[in-house]
Amino acid sequence: MARYYHFEMPAVKWYNQSPFMAMAADMTGRQSTVALLEKLGVVAVIRLRDAAKLRAVVDALAAGGVRALEVTMTVPGAVTLMRELSTTLPVGVLLGAGTVTDAATAYAVIDAGARFVVSPVFRPEVLRACHERDVAAIPGCFSPTEILNAHEAGADIVKVFPATMLGPQFLKDVRAPLPHVRLMPTGGVTPANAGDWIRAGAIAVGIGSALVDGAAVERGDWAAITDRARVAMASVESARAH
């Protein structure tokens, strides 16, 4: 672990030189958060068995250019960890919470510093809690009906989940009649195929274990996570450039 912290400081400096710094500094509410999420393009979905490794994972992602972090409630002590993390993150990094399925948890993660709240399902009470605090709400939906219902209820972005069995063509087909709905697929998205989802119409992608690899975390191979983050960002940037 001591060897790792020599790696952390360049990542923080790199962030502070980021062209996104001014945008982050101007954020005042959920609309600005949504705009920045779209700009960043990749949301790292973080699930860990060992909570003590969260900071190491965050800094490894930072070094690879992934600046939107979704700390899921499956991480032991997630709310406390988020509170600690939120006070030390570099400018330009967005901290969010995932696997939020009730209003009480939504309030707790927002109080801990979450700028966006993600759920695997659509729960109107979670959406209302987020908007009460002017925080972006991203409910999970699977069917076109669910997607439209969530959008009409005020969802800032709709998480298409699980996208594993759907593929980018599903997203493209949904976007044809619903071009105004912001979609973020999660599940089945990898660093290599992230660009395919962007080309299909996603405003951003959520990447879990394909980015934050459990085996790499276990052995402390932070460079491997950084490499995956770079691949994901390059895939998204390439898709947007064409």
- For 15-68, the pLDDT digits (tens) are 444 444 444 445 459 999 999 999 999 999 999 999 999 999 999 999 999 999
Question: How many whole angstroms separate alpha carbon 131 and alpha carbon 128?
Answer: 5
**Residue tagged active-site, from 70, 146, 152, 237:** 70
What pLDDT was estimated at residue 90?
Answer: 78
In the chain, domain spans: 5-234
pTM, 2 dp:
0.88
What pLDDT was estimated at residue 91?
Answer: 79
70 catalytic residue (yes or no): yes
pLDDT digits (tens, 9 = 90+) for 84-97: 999 999 778 999 99
Q: Tokens at residue 225, please?
A: 């996570």
Question: How many whole angstroms separate alpha carbon 126 and alpha carbon 191?
Answer: 29
pLDDT above 80: residue 13:
no
pLDDT digits (tens, 9 = 90+) for 222-233: 999 999 999 999
8 catalytic residue (yes or no): no
Residue with the larger pLDDT of the pair 211 and 12: 211
**Residue tagged active-site, from 39, 53, 84, 159:** 159
Nearest to 212 by CA among 196, 228, 232: 228
**Close Cβ partners of 151 (under 8 Å, ≥ 6 residues apart):** 158, 178, 180, 181
Q: 206 to each of 9, 14, 80, 186, how far by Cα in Å?
A: 26, 23, 23, 5
pLDDT above 80: residue 7:
no
pLDDT digits (tens, 9 = 90+) for 143-177: 999 999 999 999 999 999 999 989 999 999 999 99
CA 57, chain centre distance (Å):
14
**Close Cβ partners of 191 (under 8 Å, ≥ 6 residues apart):** 207, 210, 211, 228, 229, 231, 232, 235
Which value, to the nearest 10 degrees, does the dihedral of the CA atoms of residues 150, 173, 175, 203 take? 90
CA 120, chain centre distance (Å):
13
Q: Is the Cα dihedral 167, 188, 150, 138 positive or negative?
A: negative
Which of 41-45, 126-130, 161-165, 204-208 shows the lowest mean pLDDT across its residues? 161-165
CATH class for the domain made up of 5-234: alpha beta
